[in-house]
Amino acid sequence: MQTINTESYDSLELSKMFHEIKNPLTLINSSLQLIQDEHPEVTTFRFWNQTMEDLKNLRVLIDELSTFQKGNVLNITKVNLFDFTEDILESTAGFLLETGTPLTFESSINDLDFYADEVKLRQAIINLLKNAAESSDSGSPIFLRITADSHQLYISVADKGCGIPKDELSKIFEPFHTTKSYGTGLGLPIVKKIIESHNGKLHIQSEEGAGTTFLISLPLS
């Protein structure tokens, strides 16, 4: 009797489903953008801008659902910490400039190689940085700090924003839970899934009116 791994099967089916949904969405978006480029007057049509925004949000949702579903599938390679952090700083520069958010970066490590899924770990940290910026007033700084000991790599992202109410702290990693008027509620669950897939831990400290700190600890061996 043949045994089927239902978890792997379901994962494969979900991946195919996301792919089948994303392709026509991309085609629709490209077609609408082409129409808008050739006929700018359509932006004055009723519901046009809202339709474009809804389409954008739907594409973001599909991307984040796909990422969440694949969060525990890792491609482990050797990662250079200096290059890794430089890439993160470059990737977030535009977003931080747009939101008026200064970033303070501190590292006690001159250089270090470690093993991780570079793409997914980068996404996890960028998600935390974006979350910190969105939780802060314009002009309020956020902080990225990196330290290590002989066994662990520590990456913290902190802000001086509004903080998280105590009754919300236990819910922030639940998929689709959000206190914002926008977003999918998948950003932090994606971070948690990626970090735990690396056998790491994600800690949070938050105080209302004072800000929030997320601390990632990753094993170095």
pLDDT digits (tens, 9 = 90+) for 157-211: 999 988 888 888 888 888 776 766 566 677 788 899 889 989 999 999 999 888 9
Which string of DSSP letters, residue by residue, matches the chain?
-----HHHHHHHHHHHHHHHHHHHHHHHHHHHHHHHHH-GGGGGSTTHHHHHHHHHHHHHHHHHHHHHHTTT----EEEEHHHHHHHHHHHHHHHHHHHT--EEEEES-S--EEEE-HHHHHHHHHHHHHHHHHTS-TT--EEEEEEE-SSEEEEEEEE-SS---HHHHTTTTSTT--SSSSS-S-HHHHHHHHHHHTT-EEEEEEETTTEEEEEEEEE--
* Residue 2 binned pLDDT confidence (cut-offs 50, 70, 90): very low
Query: Tens of pLDDT along 19-50?
Result: 666 777 788 888 888 999 999 898 888 888 88
What predicted TM-score, i.e. pTM, was given to this entire model? 0.71
